[in-house]
Amino acid sequence: MHRKDRIPEGVEDTVAGILEDVRRRGDDALFAYTKRFDGVSLTARTVEIPPDETEAAFRAVDPDDVAILRCAAARIEAFHERQRAESWSYTDDEGIVLGQVLRPLSRVGIYAPGGRATYPSTVLMAGVPARVAGVREIILVSPAKEGKMNPLILVAARLAGVNRIFRIGGAQAVAALAYGTECVPRVDKIVGPGNIYVATAKRMVYGEVGIDMIAGPSEIVVIADATAQPDVIAADLLSQAEHDPMAGAILLTPHRDCAEKVAVEVLRQARELKSPVAAQALEQYGAVIVTAHMEEAVDMANRLAPEHLELAVENPAVLLGGIVNAGAVFLGFHTPEALGDYMAGPNHILPTGGTARFSSPLGVYDFIKRMSVISFSENALETYGPRAARFAEMEGLEAHGKSISIRLGRRGAKKA
């Protein structure tokens, strides 16, 4: 599942050049790269999607499809509302007030891919939690084919609460969001998946801005028992393999008969797909592994720390207790991973490449800052000040200690 060493040679140098050029030349560089890579000529007047184009998108999209997007947005919002947290404080026995204040980010940028497929679902998954968090301004960037943005993206953007939309993509769009140009405002954080150039650009601008994660190719691991249906498991594996030739799809099962049937079925179904992408992914990163027992399957899944983990077993709740590393876990035979992509509610922007060992799905918490609040009383200063001053002395920081002792001295003079 570790595919990080497969970054093609020259990608980092190319991205670094684009970032620096956009940082220096702003819109001129941004428009030049958009013309070069997307074949779209932009100006300061055409780079941003006007409101009437978004309104037209609602008329262009089938009303039934708009209703589906509304349903998905509502479910995503309902889930993420439960992630809201509140500021808090307490006063200890010494009269010291301590707390944590939560503040939303001021401006965030969402990247929506526009390469192999169009992903209005990504717009909803990134935009809705940002809006729930209270972000003041949400900016969307997405490449436009022949200068036209897919109307599904525009509808999703409106439903998600996006404020401004720019028809730009690639590493140059990441640069514009990170540094700002004459037309594109600088953001505080960039979220959303993209191709290897976008992912590399996000990694390189981290520090200038925040990022959600370095999203790699999609991946799925399925743990199955003897009750699993081979054709269903095969379909689930292919559902992620079709994303990218580097996508990973792995079955773990202690039942050899299940493994053999799934292996046959997944090849049969792959041949029926119109796109060859899934077959290419399976050839490189697909596997059917027979484990000694179910405990070994769980242990192997934890070591892989997959983006998506399906527990296609009779009693998934029993196995769930042993799962510690996964982006999202899908329980039972009626919960295909694809439901999580669109209609379940939890976020589908998930850690990949084993990073679920230390990372979490995108959520409201990604759009919130936490600030500590500290307030000492005079008595509390007298109690803890000498200890803090001595601590500063131990570290050889004279001015630190003096900033405390000067207060203690005045307090002593006051008493006298």
**Beta carbons within 8 Å of 200's beta carbon, 6+ residues apart:** 7, 11, 12, 15, 171
Of 5-19, 135-149, 297-311, the poorest mean pLDDT is in 5-19
Average confidence (pLDDT) over 330-337: 97
Question: How much is the pLDDT for 145?
Answer: 83
Q: Which of 163, 194, 213 is the last residue of a domain?
A: 213
DSSP string covering 127-175, please? Answer: HHHHHHHT-SEEEEE---BTTB--HHHHHHHHHHT--EEE---HHHHHH
pLDDT band at 4 (very low <50, low <70, confident <90, very high): low
Same domain, 41 and 111: yes
Reduced to 3 states (helix: H, G, I; strand: E, B; else coil), residue 197 is helix
Same domain, 63 and 193: yes
Same domain, 394 and 251: no
- The answer, yes or no, to whether residue 285 has pLDDT greater than 90, is yes
Strands of 368-375's sheet in order across: 88-91, 97-104, 368-375
**Helices 11-25 and 196-205, interaxial angle, to 10°?**
60
Distance (Å, whole) CA 219 – CA 74: 26
Same domain, 251 and 280: yes
pLDDT band at 146 (very low <50, low <70, confident <90, very high): confident
Question: How much is the pLDDT for 3?
Answer: 56
Residue 369 lies in a domain: no
**Beta carbons within 8 Å of 158's beta carbon, 6+ residues apart:** 54, 57, 58
What range defines the domain where residue 9 resides? Answer: 4-213
Same domain, 260 and 165: no
Q: Average pLDDT over the chain, rounded to whole?
A: 95
H or E element that contains 189: strand 189-191
Same domain, 198 and 304: no
pLDDT band at 118 (very low <50, low <70, confident <90, very high): confident
Q: Which of 191, 213, 235 is the last residue of a domain?
A: 213
Residue 166 lies in a domain: yes
Residue 366 lies in a domain: no
Question: How much is the pLDDT for 121?
Answer: 97
Residue 118 lies in a domain: yes
pLDDT band at 1 (very low <50, low <70, confident <90, very high): very low
**Beta carbons within 8 Å of 140's beta carbon, 6+ residues apart:** 109, 110, 112, 123, 127, 153, 157, 162, 164, 165, 166
Same domain, 184 and 333: no
- Percent of the chain with pLDDT strictly greater than 90: 91
Active-site choice (80, 243, 308, 348): 308
Question: How much is the pLDDT for 347?
Answer: 98
Average confidence (pLDDT) over 286-302: 98
Residue 371 lies in a domain: no
Same domain, 224 and 199: no
Question: How much is the pLDDT for 116?
Answer: 60
Does the annotation mark 337 as catalytic?
no
Tell me the per-residue pLDDT of 220-279, one tens digit each, with 9 for 90 and over.
999 999 999 999 999 999 999 999 899 999 999 999 999 999 999 999 999 999 999 999
Distance (Å, whole) CA 96 – CA 90: 8
Residue 386 lies in a domain: yes
Same domain, 202 and 290: no
Distance (Å, whole) CA 196 – CA 9: 12
Question: How much is the pLDDT for 413?
Answer: 55
On whether the CB atoms of residues 342 and 70 are closer than 8 A, the answer is no
Same domain, 165 and 286: no
Question: How much is the pLDDT for 215?
Answer: 83
Does the annotation mark 308 as catalytic?
yes
- The answer, yes or no, to whether residue 60 has pLDDT greater than 60, is yes
Question: How much is the pLDDT for 197?
Answer: 94
Question: How much is the pLDDT for 207?
Answer: 96
- The answer, yes or no, to whether residue 62 has pLDDT greater than 60, is yes
Same domain, 409 and 347: no
Question: How much is the pLDDT for 6?
Answer: 61
- The answer, yes or no, to whether residue 162 has pLDDT greater than 60, is yes
Same domain, 201 and 291: no
Question: How much is the pLDDT for 9?
Answer: 85
Q: Which amino acid is at 280?
A: Q
Whether the CA torsion 116, 153, 184, 110 is positive or negative: it is: negative
Q: Considering its fold, how many domains does the chain have in total?
A: 3
Question: How much is the pLDDT for 415?
Answer: 58
Residue 348 lies in a domain: yes
Active-site choice (77, 219, 265, 307): 307
Distance (Å, whole) CA 181 – CA 160: 25
Residue 368 lies in a domain: no
pTM: 0.93
Tell me the per-residue pLDDT of 377-390, one tens digit each, with 9 for 90 and over.
999 999 999 999 99
Name the nearest CA neighbour of 105 among 409, 367, 313.
367
Average confidence (pLDDT) over 4-33: 91
CATH of the domain at 338: 3.40.50.1980
